[in-house]
Structure 1
Amino acid sequence: MAGRIPQSFIDDLLDRTDIVDVIGERLELRRAGSNHKARCPFHEEKTPSFSVNQERQFYYCFGCNAGGNAIGFVMAYDHIDFVAALEYLAHRAGLEIPRETDTAPATRRNEPVLAILERAQTWYRAQLQEHPAAAQATNYLRQRGVAAEIAQEFGIGFAPPGWDNLIRFLDAGSDTHTERTDSAITLLVESGLAVARESGDGHYDRFRHRIMFPIRDARGRTLGFGGRVLGDDQPKYLNSPETPVFHKGRELYGLYEARTHLRGGVPLLVVEGYMDVVALAQFGIRNAVATLGTAVTDEHIAKLFRHTSDLVFCFDGDAAGRRAASRALDISLPALGDGRAVRFMFLPDGEDPDTLVRRIGSGGFSQLIASAQPLSEFLFATAASELDLALPDDRARFCQRAAPMIHRLPPGVLRQLLLGELATRAGIPASTLEQLTTPRPGAAGPRTVDLPEHRKTPGAVTEPAAPAPRETPSRPGRSYKTPLVHHLLALLLHHPHLCTELANALEPLRGEAIPDLELVFKVHALLQQNPGYTFNHVLSYWHGMHGQEQRNLLARIAANELLLAPETAAGDHLAEARGIIARLQDLAERDKPAAARLRGLLDRDALSAEDRARIRALILELSARTPNDPIINEAKQRVTLAL
């Protein structure tokens, strides 16, 4: 099924869904007054702080601030994307999802590719159990300690020896040679399963005499394969090529299998090989994933952080492993907001996760994960490499290396703490360090760690930096009270009918650089265009159309009913909102130069008594500073005419 899902269907789906039932299928809920409570599935806690409000169809955790509607909960708990969550809820409600056709053609082209990959996966799996040559594959898996249950869960299969076994199987249902050429063969090539002969005479199977590892997305769909050779052919490991549905720099092996084992703050362990993931799972370590023969990318990092807030990278302890770790550090920095962690685990010489877990067992391996090196320690160790910090010259180079890395962190507590630690290690005041190392506005910071050439990852491609969250611009000398804006958002979310009354009052604030004010205008516009919307509908719209940061902010504001007085009458809510808008206007006006404030008042069609009083005060202020400014006479004439 292809195409964009209409917002009207999403709204209807929410109206048909009871969040208490959805969450109750996954958690043990207990009624507490008008709400239901449980222990939060998104962080460890002893006392339940996870609350579900049936009337408002909303959940919120007062411990970790997770919150949202039924769609958001399914996304977070099941580790699936927005569309997959909608598909689950629609199936549960017995509804078929309609699709708008404007984006259908590109998406529809992928459906036959996905279908043939699933058929191939089923066939590979059957060959492991039925093919006469499969004994070598089953013996290899047995020697590696892979039980039948684990092989089945991961969908491990077998590509038999021979040049065209898969091609002949997938062609079996075709009636003519022309049909085979035009349909199955074309799809096999497009999906990466078949390769055209250089001579131009026919095609052959890409994967031959290999143990097959299906690479799945978070929805369990097979996107590609990795194959481990059983004979002497090269390469030892072979991945699917880039296809319309498979991109090595984006996908992770084992993520589909690991996603249900990430409850209660369990970290995701990133290793380098398929067999490492499978071997660790065999020993009960179910939180491992592997990259697909590529260095870690920013797309990997974004995907990993959608499933956990704690990443542990596992690398060899040799020089090559530490170079790879340096790259993972560099790629991770822009995504490391407060509350997220990246750690580094280095293996003993000559060991890989597979051999190490066999030697020390799951308990010993879990201890190594728990004691992995924090990002801060690895960052400073990387920056201090080959330097003598007892020497002032080397301490200066240490700062030159470390500071750009730290400044690539998003603004927040972690960045400030690391800058303070860098100042301590360098032996200079933190304020001096920050003044000397803060990037100039508009200056492009370094993309990679400033390492000696021989320590850089061979063949590593420099990719564009993932943008750090933008700080809302503000004017010097003024610190706006963001909760004031949040209070206004809460009023709009809980009392959508106010949006009509507030349209004119909000307009003078448009364009003001007040944190989160732009979000007020977005929510206001959405509510005006959709008169029947509740805040539950607003959140579903943000799930599909906007970024996670804004969505989470709205969820927190909607959940924090302490911002509002529930007993306040509707008329008082309107007066309260107008009062907030007036205060925000006043704050914005105070930061403008007097002439700009005066021009804003003079441009109004009609002047109130309060406006005239402000104009007189500004005339006196400007007359003392710039008595010849033409705007003074214009203002005097306007005030006279307005009397």
Structure 2
Amino acid sequence: MALPPAFLDELRARTPLPSLIGRKTRLAKSGRNWKGCCPFHGEKTPSFYVYDDHFHCFGCGAHGDAITFVMRAEGASFPEAVERLAAEAGMEVPKPTPQEAARDRRSRDLHAVMAAAAEAYHRRLFLPEGRPALDYLLRRRLSEETIRAFMLGWAPSGRGAIAADLRGEGVTEDQLVEAGLVRPGEAGEPPRDFFYARVMFPIRDRRGRVIAFGGRILGDGQPKYVNSPETPLFRKRMGLYGLDLAREGAFRGGAVVAVEGYMDVIALHQAGFTGAVAPLGTALTPEQLEELWRISPEPVLCFDGDAAGARAAARAAETALPLITTERTLRFATLPSGEDPDTLVAKGGPAAFQAVLDAALPMSEALFGLVAGGRPATTPEQRAALRNRLTGAAGVIADKALAAEYRRVLLDRFFASSRLPQGGRPTVRRPARPAILEGPVRAERARMLFAILLRHPWMLPQVEEAIGLLDLPDGPSAHLRAAILAWHGTAERLDSEGLIAHLAECGLEDAVAWALVPAGLPLAARAEALPGEVEEGFWHFFLRLRGEADLIEDQQEARRILAETNDPAAQRRLILLTEALDAVRRGENTAGASGDAA
């Protein structure tokens, strides 16, 4: 008998792959993943990568999960591998019972029923009766290739259509009811199709099996979308549309992004954003967030730029805060007002949506605006209420160290905002501190900035121009900038090991050693730092190196852009610039800021 999927999923979740695979081959941290030499074929250059829930060798093609690894590495059968991993995880392998065997057979049968139904709906889309639905999809700019890849279909309006289509497959009426494809008849009437006169969207589980359907009406009727009822295969709060394809997209390096609707997911996949998913007509649930984190430690949640989108983002943050850790968090992206991903890609192409992703804020930065909610905070009562909400939001984070960091970041932003009334000038000027030696401070700030780049060269595409603007002190920082920018123009992969090897070939070993001296380095310069921490650290030191006159010009430009666009990213930039300018004017030595020393 097959083991329950829930048991196997929990077993995989309880088995850390790096420690399991590390027994057979030496692994080294590579960004947020691990890599090493493949244990299944002899190689000298590492091409074996270990992710949160699977491994893959780009040399021999070996691929799988924890169970697969034990089977392949130790020659174990599937039951033996499960028994060994379960013993290590402190789990008991379920014993088969007649009831479980019957339930397992029914589940397998229902998967076959749903697969057959998906095929039937898909065939009807290309028949004359499905032409209006096909025309609708083509008008929505979907290619026939995309339509077939997502197995889109058409449920006709006639009673008993799906039963007729599946009768030749030996599917019974009871199975149709249990699968949610028909409703039982009332008062002796025959069963009725659950979906009729709708464009059909098969919903798959993470393994690619059809477990439910979404149906969209043609025209303006209501409800516009309906989903399958809950069945033995389908629980709405557990699934994500496009999850099986997004796992593959994330594996190939795509950003995992949760959007609102089915058509948004399909349009984004067609445009090359193959990590797109959507909840099934509900607000994001804890279970859906767990699914996102299984394929990415920092997925992006994308919301409309209107009031409803802001409320949805705030609800998502409220759901996520108790669940985030140092290893998994979120980013928040906001669409231009009046646009959704589908229309945005249609008007501006992939670059338009990529710009939205590039402007996504780490949760630590987005949270202030989500908690403030656009409500005024000018009176002492309003400010006290906002401060209480901010500390309360940080307080629900289970990891106490992380909660303390969030509280610090939120309150720093709170106090910074109090220094920026209309006009953007501080209301109180503090006495100037004694002057400090500028040369050593600038050199130390430059060291921090280049230490971050050496560990995280993936940032170069977004900061190359900014680095070129800096007036750097003579010495190792200037030499590093020239060599790094030259390397960026020719490098095939922006990885730390490759960059440091290139700099060594250029005779800059001493400069690299100078930059990476551990004393005083910020958290952002650690190899394991999260992307949000890296970006925050880089811009912190960049702004302190920019110079007062340049910062004033940057601040004026940021204020102009904010007034024209009311863009949250522009507001964030203005706040950072103002804080940096204030620190420069006070003569504040912030060389070691932005995180504890590494």
- Using the size of structure 2 for normalisation, the TM-score is 0.57
Higher mean Cα deviation, 243-252 or 395-404?
395-404
Secondary structure class of the residue paired with 2:203? strand
Q: CA RMSD in A?
A: 4.0
Unaligned 5+ segments in structure 1 are 8-18, 24-33, 175-182, 429-555, 557-643
Q: Does the CA-based 8 Å contact 1:209-1:231 persist in structure 2?
A: no
Return the letter of the residue paired with 1:311.
P
TM-aligned CA deviation for residue 326 of structure 1: 0.9
Secondary structure class of the residue paired with 1:249? helix
Aligned: 1:184 with 2:188: no
Q: Does the CA-based 8 Å contact 2:301-2:333 persist in structure 1?
A: yes
Secondary structure class of the residue paired with 1:120? helix
**Structure 2 matches for 1:470-549, cutoff 5 A?**
none
Return the letter of the residue paired with 2:153.
G
CA-to-aligned-CA distance 1:535-584 (integer Å, 9 cap, x gap): xxxxxxxxxxxxxxxxxxxxx9xxxxxxxxxxxxxxxxxxxxxxxxxxxx
Residue of structure 2 equivalent to 1:101: 96
Q: Does the CA-based 8 Å contact 1:316-1:349 persist in structure 2?
A: yes
Q: Does the CA-based 8 Å contact 1:337-1:412 persist in structure 2?
A: no
Q: Does the CA-based 8 Å contact 2:301-2:330 persist in structure 1?
A: yes
Aligned: 1:50 with 2:46: no
Distance 1:78 1:387, change over 3 A: farther
Residue of structure 2 equivalent to 1:285: 273
**Structure 2 matches for 1:301-450, cutoff 5 A?**
301-385=289-373, 387-411=375-399, 414-427=402-415
**Structure 2 matches for 1:28-47, cutoff 5 A?**
43=33
Aligned: 1:211 with 2:207: no
Distance 1:413 1:217, change over 3 A: same
Match of 2:258 among 270, 280, 284: 270
**Structure 2 matches for 1:579-594, cutoff 5 A?**
none
Secondary structure class of the residue paired with 2:327? coil
User: How many residue pairs align between the two structures?
Assistant: 382
What CA distance in whole angstroms lies between the structure 2 residues aligned with 1:35 and 1:198?
A: 63
Aligned: 1:171 with 2:153: no
Secondary structure class of the residue paired with 1:345? strand
The one of the two structures with greater contact order (alpha-carbon pairs below 8 A, sep at least 6) is 1
What CA distance in whole angstroms lies between the structure 1 residues aligned with 2:345 and 2:337?
A: 14
Residue of structure 1 equivalent to 2:2: 2
Match of 2:111 among 114, 133, 140: 114
CA-to-aligned-CA distance 1:198-229 (integer Å, 9 cap, x gap): 33311121111222111001111100001112
Secondary structure class of the residue paired with 2:147? helix
Q: Does the CA-based 8 Å contact 1:317-1:347 persist in structure 2?
A: yes
Match of 1:73 among 23, 47, 55: 55
Distance 1:144 1:185, change over 3 A: same
Distance 1:266 1:108, change over 3 A: same
Aligned: 1:146 with 2:179: no
Distance 1:400 1:235, change over 3 A: same
Q: Does the CA-based 8 Å contact 1:42-1:265 persist in structure 2?
A: no
CA-to-aligned-CA distance 1:138-159 (integer Å, 9 cap, x gap): 2112111111221121111222
TM-aligned CA deviation for residue 117 of structure 1: 0.7
Residue of structure 2 equivalent to 1:125: 122
Q: Does the CA-based 8 Å contact 1:226-1:238 persist in structure 2?
A: yes
Q: Does the CA-based 8 Å contact 1:158-1:209 persist in structure 2?
A: yes
What CA distance in whole angstroms lies between the structure 2 residues aligned with 1:93 and 1:208?
A: 51
Q: Does the CA-based 8 Å contact 1:61-1:67 persist in structure 2?
A: no
Residue of structure 2 equivalent to 1:569: none
Return the letter of the residue paired with 2:96.
T
What CA distance in whole angstroms lies between the structure 2 residues aligned with 1:414 and 1:264?
A: 30
Secondary structure class of the residue paired with 2:215? strand
TM-aligned CA deviation for residue 255 of structure 1: 1.0
Distance 1:105 1:367, change over 3 A: same
CA-to-aligned-CA distance 1:298-318 (integer Å, 9 cap, x gap): 000011100001111111222
Secondary structure class of the residue paired with 1:284? coil
TM-aligned CA deviation for residue 36 of structure 1: 8.1
Secondary structure class of the residue paired with 1:351? coil
Return the letter of the residue paired with 2:133.
A
Distance 1:252 1:173, change over 3 A: closer
Return the letter of the residue paired with 2:296.
T
Secondary structure class of the residue paired with 1:314? strand
What CA distance in whole angstroms lies between the structure 2 residues aligned with 1:331 and 1:50?
A: 36
Q: Does the CA-based 8 Å contact 2:255-2:273 persist in structure 1?
A: no
What CA distance in whole angstroms lies between the structure 2 residues aligned with 1:244 and 1:125?
A: 23
Match of 1:255 among 243, 254, 260: 243
Distance 1:160 1:67, change over 3 A: closer
Return the letter of the residue paired with 1:225.
F
TM-aligned CA deviation for residue 256 of structure 1: 0.8
TM-aligned CA deviation for residue 51 of structure 1: 4.0
Return the letter of the residue paired with 2:333.
M
Q: Does the CA-based 8 Å contact 2:203-2:214 persist in structure 1?
A: yes
Return the letter of the residue paired with 2:160.
D
**Structure 2 matches for 1:595-614, cutoff 5 A?**
none
Quote the sequence identity (%): 36
Q: Does the CA-based 8 Å contact 2:364-2:409 persist in structure 1?
A: no
Q: Does the CA-based 8 Å contact 1:80-1:219 persist in structure 2?
A: no
